[in-house]
Structure 1
Amino acid sequence: MRYSHIALALEVLRLLAEKPYKRDDLIAALDSFFRQGDRHQKLSRLMRELRDDCGFAIESAPSRPYKLIESNFPVILSLPQRQTLYMAAKLLDSVGFSTQGEQLLRLGRLKASDAPPDLKPDFCPPADYGEERLRTIADQLQDRCAQQECYAIRYCGSSGKISQVDLDRSEFRLHDGMLYLFAFVPDYKRSHPVEQNSIFRIDRIEKVGEPSGIRWKRSFFPSLKIRYRMSGPLATYKPRRDHEKVVERNRDRNYQILETREDQLFWFRQRILHYGKNVRVLEPEWLADRLREELRQAYENYLQPLDSE
């Protein structure tokens, strides 16, 4: 390849790595590289070379844009970089993103010998999000989120009951190694708007409905301001979340008060119960009452004798 031809190939790959391009738009963006001759013919010949000779996966069809599916560009990495990339790939695989993990392995041409000697993942994901059915579900959900129109899903709950749920604003969230659809579910029987924010495990969504043509009514997810007290070993806890901050600290009495704004009370409840006796919700009172009742029931559960065999 001549230098000018290599430069053209690199510029084509750079542009396609940013976004898909229609043929005429790509030629216009490459105007300074073409001096004479049929530009369409030169571009078509270059695309064949990139696909057949260099191994780049570039998708194209009549009346459709060029789209870079997978790059085969050589990446030169040091040993620490290869180990870091291998670790990232295996962590993705361990939380159920096997397809994305495999892409990282191919990107760096990594082998088992690139594994850090001290890496031993020990996590079993509930599902493989790279599996074809789940990829299809995730792609459909991405489309609905981009369209910002109300839609419905058919969902199988933990009890096995299947129901159809109408959704408003929605987005993906990764929480504790599981992928969820986080959505606002209009339900005016609930006392507090934040309780209309619902979570759905992606692997339990059986079908995604078509967009309704009705725009989302919610421009944001409702949230709730919560204050809680940490004491004992947690008196020196440092907030790790953007929406969490310390509003009062008393070193003499070994406690601090934090304030947070939460949009998913189930996840907040899990976190607070995890802290055990060293945390107490102060406000709002109705949330503190719910947690108090749950802890009371848990305590009474240990007072009851086990059923005889």
Structure 2
Amino acid sequence: MTSTKSDRYSQIAFALEILRLLAEKPRKREELGELLDRFLDRNDKPSDDVLQKLTRTIRKLRECGFSIDSAPNRPYVLQESNFPVLLSLKQREALSLAADILSQMGFTGQAGQIKNIGRLSESDRSSDIHFDFSPPFDYGKDIDPEIVTKLQERLEQKYRYTILYRDSQGETLTWDLDRSELRFHNGVMYLFAHVPDTRHKNGLFEKNRLFRPDRILSVGGMSDTRWLMSEFPTCTIRYRMSGALAKYKPRRDREEVIQYNSESVDIKTTEDYIFWFRQRIMQYGANATVLTPDWLREDLHQELKRTLDHYQN
């Protein structure tokens, strides 16, 4: 016998629809009511008391362990789901490894969320895979988790904010930051931000700065000014790989081959932080040559000359 829409509908389906909608994003009561009204209509159910059904179902979901926040004139927010997740042994081991990696990188909150989702314990750790997070410079042990949490809040809000920062010389300065994100480089976490009130010589990309989270003393509240930058300013660079790397194939999304022959390959890339590009290109030695821009080519030329002087002396 073919089931009808009415047969498929149930109070469980109504509750699941609420969870699905709140899992997408926070929603105000009126918005939830409109969406659930359509849901009831699709299932041939009366929707005249949809808001009352919503209130009753939210209460029942909370009793079942789902953390759903709400307040007058505020949206419903699904803070934590208590929905059971059935995982295989290999899946649990994979999640446990991911949680360990995030925890050692300083993201203890996210690691805890993963462990809660999978109901993970020490017995879920793989006996075959061991993770030892040892970056060249380990600042993680000195990072205040509250600083990372506040930074993540500012990144979600997308309004300009300030940080109180102690530089390598011990001087404390207040920085006014625009577009920002947390980035990892060689296994180390940094705050990468566009700093509008700084000088630049070769382009706006020089206003992009790195900040070590362990040197951030405090994070200010968000201002009334939204981020002005929708994307980080970039610099277009062309470089050539030759010799042992003549058949080099770009691995980064921002890189593309613009010319290729049997002896070399020319690549174009867009970079938002030149220092990291310099580090990467220098590790290839004589197999890599920057073609443009001229100022960067000359900077690397002078740096290589100083390196040569060290060896000659």
Which band: TM-score by shorter chain? 0.7 to 0.9
Contact 1:156 1:163 in 2 (8 A): yes
Partner of 2:148: 134
Query: Is residue 157 from structure 1 mapped to residue 171 from structure 2 by the alignment?
Result: no
Per-residue Cα deviation, 1:165-213 (whole angstroms, up to 9, x for no partner):
2334x13142323142321434345343322222223443333445554
Matches within 5 A, 1:76-155: 76-124=86-134, 126-127=139-140, 131-143=145-157, 145=158, 147=159, 150-155=160-165
List runs of 5+ in structure 2 lacking aligned partners. Answer: 1-8
CA change 1:103–1:230 in 2 (3 A) is same
Contact 2:166 2:216 in 1 (8 A): yes
SS in structure 1 at match of 2:120: coil
Aligned mates of 2:231, 2:72 — CA distance in 1: 40
Contact 1:58 1:69 in 2 (8 A): yes
Aligned mates of 2:163, 2:304 — CA distance in 1: 34
Query: Is residue 228 from structure 1 mapped to residue 261 from structure 2 by the alignment?
Result: no
Shift of 1:269: 1.1
Paired residue type of 1:166: D
Choose the corresponding residue for 1:20, options 17, 23, 26: 26
Partner of 1:50: 61
CA change 1:130–1:75 in 2 (3 A) is farther
Per-residue Cα deviation, 1:218-272 (whole angstroms, up to 9, x for no partner):
4543322212222233222211112212223332x3x322221212101111211
Contact 1:97 1:130 in 2 (8 A): no
Contact 2:239 2:289 in 1 (8 A): yes
Per-residue Cα deviation, 1:260-291 (whole angstroms, up to 9, x for no partner):
12121011112112223322222222212212
Question: Which region of structure 1 is more displaced relative to structure 2, 238-247 or 293-302?
Answer: 293-302
Query: Is residue 263 from structure 1 mapped to residue 272 from structure 2 by the alignment?
Result: yes
Partner of 1:185: 196
Paired residue type of 2:165: Y
SS in structure 2 at match of 1:65: coil
Shift of 1:74: 0.9
Aligned mates of 1:132, 1:291 — CA distance in 2: 39
SS in structure 2 at match of 1:158: coil
Contact 1:21 1:67 in 2 (8 A): yes
Aligned mates of 1:274, 1:288 — CA distance in 2: 15
Contact 1:231 1:279 in 2 (8 A): yes
Contact 1:152 1:166 in 2 (8 A): yes
RMSD: 3.0
Aligned mates of 1:173, 1:110 — CA distance in 2: 27
Partner of 2:288: 279
Shift of 1:42: 4.0
CA change 1:66–1:120 in 2 (3 A) is same
Contact 1:180 1:201 in 2 (8 A): yes
Contact 1:190 1:196 in 2 (8 A): no
